[in-house]
A and B are shown apart, each in its own frame.
Chain A
Amino acid sequence: MRTKVYKVYTISIILLVILVSVPIYSYGKVTGQCSNCHTMHNSQNGISVSKGGPHEELLKDTCIGCHTGTNTGTNKTPYVLSISPPDYGVNGTGTTGNTLAGGNFYWVASSGGADDRCGHNVQGISPPDATLGLTPPGGTPLSTELTCAGTNGCHGDRSIQDQYKAIYGAHHAHVDTGWQDGSTVAKSYRFLLGIQGMEDPKWEYHPDQYHHNKYYGVDRTTEADVSGTISHLCAECHGYFHHGTGQIAPDIPHGVWLRHPTDFDMNNVKNGTEYQYYNGGTGVDNPYSVISPVATSDTSTTLNTVVYHQAGDAIVMCLSCHRAHGSPYHAILRWNYKAWPGPNGYNGCAVCHTAKN
């Protein structure tokens, strides 16, 4: 009896100590000292503190200034631009190296690969595309070069011109666990206002079937735009690749496609087709592929580790084939299709188009 009592005491004390001492750590919200990112007067010993500044919101650096570095898996800030060539991993699919879900701007940056075809030309990273200028393919011209956030950008509130104001407060208010419902910038997937999803806490550093982003998609039956999906975000600039009228063949949905399907559920066409064998599966609970990922219309906090488990869990999206920021390949493809079937190539298309490998 006494032994039991002592055991209870001991266990209670240990539990209490653990509860008190172990912090609940989330990578989403910025942590650390205010002075790491902000400067009150941008002046120290007569020299400016902020690089290329002054910057708004009393920041020491620009967006890309803070998000430049080499990902190691332990960094607390996601680096989307590296100064030295990033490692795009085995098979050149960006899943085992040191790039993140969006890829890396290195290959389009003036300081890096400087290839317009390998990434989004963002202000402060590279000059406007020499061929396309300010016109995104499939869309209408922007008023200025693409920015990280704001009206001419992707992140933040795209109704606000100024990119700092567009993302105001999101870094401090964000919680990266749980479903991001898109209601505010801080509650949107990767600060993309209105876009839903669930974020991998390590931004897909070395993703696998059990550790990856959960993208939101909607299975459409018409060519109309839908809101909240990751493909919709791309379509805000590259609209014709996602939706439209008069730019498609008749006999929807079985007619000739003029655009590769997006926001389309492969569950609809799985049975008896090559898509049944997505990522080497059998057509039921196929393993999720981080090489050619799919979106889901499921908004629960359960990660979609398998595909073809339920309707709406195999939605083709823009990011199934492309990366958002940059990749070593033209058209910001996730894999080197051009070099395939050569030794340096990879047929990521075959993850879905299993009969065409």
Chain B
Amino acid sequence: MTPSTPLQPGRWNDGELPLNVVLGVNTVINGSLAFKRFHSEADRITTVGEHCFIDGVHFSTGKRGRIVIGNYCCFTNVVLLSELEVVIGNYVVIGWNTTIADTDFHPLDPAERILDAIACSPLGKGQPRPKTLTSAVTIEDDVWIGANVTILKGVRIGAGAFIEPGSLVTRNVPAGVRVMGNPAQIIEEPLA
């Protein structure tokens, strides 16, 4: 693309974008399943900034969930699950088959989990579900996340951190470090 060509508005190549999703200029989303499980209510706005390439993503949200993504991000086959808020900064790269969730999905307590199973069943239509722990996920600018990584609720990943493929991130990651493992641990301090 030459500089004289005006950049196109953001677009999703495989369908009509939900009204509460806003894309910045030159952002491209691919994948027919991208919004298959997008259930955010009208006042919960999901935004993707400018110049992003989001290939094969799942924006899977509950009624109160929302996802905010900055500029110049590049994701491949990422699964984003939000019941509350997932915030991703600028220049973030995420590899194949990585999952980010801001919720536990079901209660920890066994008795409450039975109630949840019933509420989620075909007989549970309209029944309220018991409370499940949710906590926002924040991924700061310049973070690199490899393939097959899992990031759980409440985690904040500091700017410039490098998450090795296959890591399971259960706790905050300081800025600039390199982590790997299950659970993810620091294997390299920030670059000098």
Tell me if chain B binds chain A. Answer: no
